[in-house]
């Protein structure tokens, strides 16, 4: 470090400390810029209108998005609509918001050549960095909250505030369901900020707005692929996409919240890690110097090479570590869910189900055609549920089960035993048969 650098960092009276009013000034400066640009200007509008449009489409068609958790219940409870939108938003919406808000935050100054104007004012690089990052995070939080509020409103308007069927087949009262839905959106804020931090990092390192805006989306896609193909717990636990699924546990009975805690740790690690690397990059760089004037794809290619290397590494180590998806967990979860949904089906059909009564069923699950038949995610699980008959003895029903690495599963049963997709209450409208195809979740590591 030269004498000038050392003295500049030290300043005339010792260390130069960050002035928070200046960070606030930078934040207001950045907010004004965001509000003057069309992508960030229309983003709030999209966050409000998209859920309303989605709910309106659901309302006019009879089909349901079955591939998504709570998708089967969108015509039954408005909260299911908000949770389906949360699943979509976690996969695609948050990375898009992150890209639009954070992807241009640093690289925009490179694109427009304005670093030399911004950095010759009264704010230090540290204050400018903090102000920019704070603006991106606040804007992200605002957009996620707006999207969440619009989703809940859209669900309530389109379907209503009826009770919601949970992920163990239990019925959640309207108030409880509303509280859990709000909490789920709240829990998803931290991983959303993780994506924004990733966008800021890509923006700072590549100095390319295109990379900054598309990068989080590609990262989200890669994480989802890892989540699908990797069977080990180690890599899965390190993915932001896992943190975005953490809210699922709140809808199980008994509820489990350890994934939420771990998701918060991972999200904060992403935020801090990305910010530290982005800051080191900005602090060290020469702005508008001959070195930074070099045009071409060299920098972008280097960053791309690092990203591809990281993806390849994660792909190789994706199966490292044991899987915490076991037949025992699935046996217990699917038996309990089946019992709860059977009671619900009977109630829906207008039959009397005595309070406190519970189907004393059991299940045995195993994977078909694989060496490790009792563990791991896959679409080849077969669960046999043993249901007690009224006249003693047991009857059995087989469900084909797809278990995802996050511990959530979809079970499809034989129509001959459990009835068709829609069933009819006596003199009532058709309703979804809860046993035809159902979702559930159980806790997996971490």
Partner 1 sequence: MSALPAEDLSPEVAAVAASGLSKRFGPVVAVDRVDLRVEPGTVCGLLGPNGAGKTTLLRLLLGLVRPDAGRIEFFGRRPAPAPGLCGVAGFVEEPRFYPYLSARQTLQLFARLDGSDPQGRIDELLDLVGLEQKAADRRVGGYSTGMRQRLGLAVALLASPRLLLLDEPTTGLDPTGAREMRAVLARLAAEGVAVLLSSHDMDAVADICTTVTVLLSGRVVWDGTMDRLQAEAPAPEYRLETSDDARALAQSSSQPGVRAHEDGAGGLLVAAEREALDAFVLALGSEGIAVRRLAEVASSVEAMFLALTGGTAR
Write out the residues near partner 1 by the rule CB under 8 A: 2-5, 7-12, 16, 21-22, 25-26, 28-29, 32-33, 36-37, 112-127, 286-291
Least distance between partner 1 and beta carbon 216 (Å) = 23
Give the residue with the Cβ less far from partner 1, 292 or 396. 292
Q: How far is the CB of 86 from partner 1 (least distance, A)?
A: 33
CA torsion sign for 56, 57, 60, 66 is negative
In the block, residue with structure tokens 């059977």: 342
Q: Which is nearer to partner 1, 4 or 390 (CB)?
A: 4
By C-beta, is 29 or 92 nearer to partner 1? 29
CA distance 274 to 310: 15
Which tokens hold the place of 293? 């004037």
Phi, psi of 336 (to 5 degrees): -65, -45
Output the smallest distance, CB 307 to partner 1, in A: 26
Q: Which residues contact 314 (CB under 8 A, 6 or more apart)?
A: 222, 226, 230, 235
Name the minimum Å distance from CB 110 to partner 1. Answer: 11
Chain-centroid distance of CA 380 in Å reads: 25
Nearer to partner 1, 114 or 396 (CB): 114
Q: Cβ neighbours of residue 131 under 8 Å, at least 6 residues apart? A: 22, 23, 24, 25, 26, 27, 29, 30, 123
d(CA 181, CA 184): 5
The tokens describing 292, both together, are: 């930074």
What does the alpha-carbon distance between residue 351 and residue 339 come to, in Å, rounded to a whole number?
A: 15
Any residues with CB less than 8 A from the CB of 260 and at least 6 apart, and which? 187, 246, 247, 249, 250
How many other C-beta atoms can be found within 10 angstroms of the C-beta atom of residue 431?
15
Considering the complex, state which of residue 121 and residue 358 has its C-beta at the smaller distance from partner 1. 121
Closest CB to partner 1 among residues 26, 180: 26
Smallest separation (angstroms) from partner 1 to the CB of 334: 56
Which residue lies nearer to partner 1 by CB, 289 or 430?
Answer: 289
Q: Looking at the chain, how many residues does it have?
A: 446
For residue 139, the tally of other CB atoms under 10 A from its CB is 24
Nearer CB in complex with partner 1: 16/386:
16
Cα of 89 vs its chain's centroid, Å: 7
């Amino acid at each position: 470090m030269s004498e000038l650098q050392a003295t500049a960092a030290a300043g005339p009276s010792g260390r130069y400390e960050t002035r928070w009013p200046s960070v606030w000034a930078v934040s207001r400066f950045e907010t004004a810029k965001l509000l003057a640009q069309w992508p960030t200007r229309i983003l709030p509008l999209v966050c409000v209108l998209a859920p309303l449009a989605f709910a309106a489409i659901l309302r006019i068609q009879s089909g349901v998005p079955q591939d998504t958790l709570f998708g089967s219940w969108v015509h039954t409870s408005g909260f299911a609509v908000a949770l389906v939108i949360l699943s979509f938003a976690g996969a695609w919406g948050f990375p898009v918001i992150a890209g639009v808000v954070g992807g241009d935050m640093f690289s925009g100054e490179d694109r427009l050549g304005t670093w030399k104007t911004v950095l010759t004012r009264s704010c230090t690089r540290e204050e400018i960095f903090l102000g920019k990052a704070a603006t991106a995070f606040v804007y992200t939080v605002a957009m996620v909250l707006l999207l969440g509020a619009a989703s809940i409103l859209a669900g309530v308007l389109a379907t209503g505030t009826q009770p919601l069927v949970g992920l163990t087949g239990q019925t959640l009262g309207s108030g409880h369901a509303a509280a859990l839905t709000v909490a789920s959106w709240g829990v998803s804020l931290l991983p959303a900020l993780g994506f924004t931090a990733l966008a800021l990092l890509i923006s700072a390192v590549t100095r390319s707005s295109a990379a900054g805006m598309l990068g989080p989306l590609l990262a989200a896609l890669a994480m989802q692929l890892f989540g699908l193909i990797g069977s080990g717990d180690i890599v899965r636990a390190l993915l932001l996409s896992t943190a975005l699924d953490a809210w699922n546990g709140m809808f199980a009975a008994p509820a489990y919240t350890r994934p939420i805690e771990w998701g918060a740790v991972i999200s904060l690690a992403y935020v801090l890690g990305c910010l530290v690397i982005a800051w080191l990059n900005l602090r060290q760089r020469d702005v508008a110097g001959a070195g930074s004037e070099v045009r071409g794809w060299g920098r972008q290619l280097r960053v791309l090479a690092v990203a591809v290397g990281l993806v390849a590494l994660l792909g190789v180590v994706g199966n490292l570590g044991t899987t915490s998806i076991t037949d025992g967990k699935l046996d217990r979860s699917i038996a309990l869910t089946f019992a709860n949904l059977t009671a619900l089906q009977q109630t829906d059909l207008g039959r009397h189900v005595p309070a406190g009564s519970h189907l004393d069923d059991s299940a045995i699950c195993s994977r078909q055609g694989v060496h490790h038949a009792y563990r791991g995610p896959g679409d080849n699980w077969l669960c046999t549920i043993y249901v007690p008959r009224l006249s003693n003895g047991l009857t059995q029903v087989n469900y084909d089960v797809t278990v995802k690495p996050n511990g959530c599963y979809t079970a499809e049963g034989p129509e001959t035993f459990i009835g068709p997709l829609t069933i009819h209450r006596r003199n009532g409208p058709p309703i979804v048969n809860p046993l035809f195809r159902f979702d559930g979740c159980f806790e997996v590591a971490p």
